[in-house]
Chain A
């Protein structure tokens, strides 16, 4: 009995190493933990990119299969380090497309993937600290813009709306605290005045005291929070007490539930920004067509970024000509930054043909042009969202 058990466990462990001729990448996303619902469509977008690669000829001249090994990083440094250790050592992946949360991304990169010399291409980690993480290596990239950019975009938006004074309230978590920090800095340097700046702990039943304190200084509130844990409550408290008239904020607040709970008629003076894709570009149209056909929500947060990351990783591996880890970083810069023939989402066959004939390509992604700067960051596009007819209407900020 025990012998049988041991043998079957060994088979299970060994199973992943049987198909040695395929090229594997790791996909550690936060499948459990605080944001599984957000991650589900992102993971589907990675699957779609993998499917495109495999359906249109696979990798290299012998058509090797492109496989994304899925593990769970749970948005938690401990879990992410453990998951990526397995990917790097046991699954022997060529590159990593994933971690979702910034803390998990930094931890797994510094603890595991950088020491092992494996490229990490994050799809949604937005912490400014990631830009300055590496000293002598070039191994961490991301297809989502740093918070630094969105904070500045929001400050510009506030200025253009004529808000000269503003109070800032942010949820005390890694994402919202950082974006609030960037916003305050940018807004002050543009000549605006911050009348109050306070962190709040999420998941409290009432925020009346916070709202009253901040409301004494200004009629305008910049709110950085997740709608579910504190955002809606703060807005409700603010409306009940009449402390604020105008609200601006970032993507944590962007959800239909905000409208459903607070009522569209009360949200006339509310504008939230989010990282967005310019839907008028050819690249986005190409992405939308494929995403709709595969039933993947094309415009959901970080979904196009996830597709871009998985597709770019495949292009880089093809360009490098082998699954050799050490060549991926340089190849990734070549295929993403160009110059070369423009490649849009879904055009694997075309890209493969050009690379095979020795030409160069420049991938233009679903979420943006995806050109990496020296830190491995991309510039982001943002949209402003207002309530029109009971729904969020998004306009890209040019």
Chain B
């Protein structure tokens, strides 16, 4: 029973992280898949979202600025707003750049964001990061939440305490994973609506031939800024959820562009850029394989050890992490060789079913 519960909870965690990456990939899909904007600063927008959420919602701490203790929803919304706002400012300045130049500019911007977060240590606690970030659902079992609105209306804090001690410690996990999946689905439906709307077709036109679209009287720059902001909004929300999931964010490792930005790009390309389903599929697939491959490599080493009992497996165990990276790299090569346009290629033309 314990084992089944264990696998269930691990599955919840896979869905949680997979969902967060799916949001990031959907955000990138708006920018790259719809509008052809090469954004290499995903980690930067996610970081803005995560830090905004963390600073607005955490309790007072001597390590960083805070103690605002705003409701979590306000944190989520502000994470989106701020990420979108910064994307807007950036968009006004550099959206006119052609693809590769925009890529360079966004790399630089992500790096600037990271360095600001790292050095404004009075606000962000610098490289040590912010911890004790409240997680949606789980936060209800913390005293400062069950003793305040809305829970204190329903019951007294003493009886809430007794209630939360009486239920299983993992009660919030399915709810948290479910919330994220729900948001992914909602984002997906909204983006699908957008893709098949006139706006979506216009974006395709701009992406494919900017000059023709401009000649047809479309405001290319404005549309591109819109797509850039929309993508960043989604990334900011994903960042807020990443902060909740990890409960600690710090600029160096969590928002390392070479890890996060690169990984999301891989997810989108493998899944199929331009296709919202593909973005979601790619995110879940890559994350599932990445996470579960550790169990597989460990199991393989055990099997090897039981076959050849003269082999010293401690060396292999220390190297398992690298073997795993090799496997993932190999798998990506196969996917990209087999499906050069992603597993679910873009369907065109992007016309609504209802005519």
Residues in chain A within 8 A of chain B (CB atoms):
9, 11-13, 15-17, 31-32, 36, 40, 43-44, 47, 69-72, 74-78, 81-83, 85-86, 88-90, 92, 101-104, 106-107, 110-111, 115-117, 127, 129, 133, 172-174, 177-178, 199, 201
Contacts and interface: CB of A to CB of B under 8 A. Distances in A.
Nearest to A136: B143
Contact of A15 (B10, B132, B302): B302
Given A72-B294, A82-B17, A110-B248, 10 more contacts: A12-B296, A13-B296, A31-B321, A70-B298, A86-B294, A106-B248, A107-B131, A172-B119, A172-B127, A174-B252
A12 B299 contact: yes
A92 B295 CA distance: 13
19 contacts: A31-B318, A31-B319, A32-B321, A43-B317, A78-B17, A78-B246, A78-B253, A85-B10, A90-B10, A90-B295, A103-B254, A107-B131, A111-B246, A111-B247, A115-B169, A116-B169, A172-B126, A174-B126, A174-B250
B68 interface: no
A103 B295 contact: no
Interface of B: 2-3, 5-7, 9-10, 13, 17, 63, 115, 118-119, 121, 126-129, 131-132, 135, 138, 169-170, 242, 245-250, 252-254, 256, 259, 291-292, 294-296, 298-300, 302-303, 314, 317-322, 324-325
A71 B248 contact: no
B252 to A, nearest CB: 6
B281 to A, nearest CB: 18
A301 B5 CA distance: 39
A77 B246 CA distance: 7
Given A13-B296, A71-B294, A77-B249, A89 B7 contact: yes
A76 B253 contact: yes
Residue with the highest number of chain A CB atoms closer than 10 Å, among B119, B132, B298, B325: B298
Contacts of B248: 77, 103, 106-107, 110-111
Contacts of A117: 169
Given A70-B320, A86-B291, A115-B170, A13 B299 contact: yes
A69 to B, nearest CB: 7
B318 A12 contact: no
Nearest to B142: A135
A77 B317 contact: no
B128 A102 contact: yes
A102 B320 CA distance: 22
A2 to B, nearest CB: 15
A177 B170 CA distance: 35
A123 to B, nearest CB: 15
Contacts of B252: 103, 173-174
B291 A82 contact: yes
B318 A103 contact: no
A72 B170 contact: no
A173 B251 CA distance: 9
Contact of A177 (B17, B127, B138): B127
B157 to A, nearest CB: 14
A65 to B, nearest CB: 13
A108 to B, nearest CB: 9
Nearest to A51: B314
A44 B131 CA distance: 31
B127 A174 contact: yes
Given A16-B299, A77-B249, A129-B131, A92 B3 contact: yes
Contact of B314 (A11, A44, A104, A129): A44
Contacts of A89: 5-7, 9-10, 13
Nearest to A103: B250
A377 B131 CA distance: 19
A103 B294 contact: no
Contacts of A11: 299
B121 A177 contact: yes
B138 A115 contact: yes
Top 3 nearest A-B pairs (CB, nearest first) are A72-B321, A12-B299, A89-B6
Given A85-B13, A89-B13, A31 B246 contact: no
A77 B325 CA distance: 18
Contact of B250 (A36, A44, A77, A85): A77
